[in-house]
Amino acid sequence: MSPNYSNEELKEALDSMLKDSTNREYDARHIFGHGKPDHELSMLQIITATRILDYRDLMVGMLLY
């Protein structure tokens, strides 16, 4: 787990990549553990989700200035 984000935040970040999908199950079929609530994220998934959240936080910070 990332020291800055909870497991739930990380999973939500990964799910955000599918926000515009019209068929989430089909589009996520290659994502390891997708749709399994008890899935423990892989290190690659943690890194990817952390980058998504760090970028989001950076962009929000830039909008505040």
The secondary structure of the chain in percent helix, strand, coil, rounded to multiples of 5, reads 55, 0, 45
Number of domains in the chain: 1
Q: Degrees (nearest 5) of the Cα angle 7, 26, 1?
A: 10
Residue 11 domain flag: yes
Residue 15 domain flag: yes
Domain span at residue 35 reads 7-63
Residue 1 domain flag: no
Packing angle between helix 7-16 and helix 43-63, nearest 10 degrees? 80
Residue 58 domain flag: yes
Q: How confident is the model at residue 43 (pLDDT cuts 50, 70, 90)?
A: very high
- pLDDT value for 64: 67
- pLDDT value for 29: 76
This prediction has a pTM of 0.75
pLDDT of 6-21, one tens digit each? 999 999 999 898 889 9
The continuous run of DSSP H or E covering 64 comes out as none
Residue 2 domain flag: no
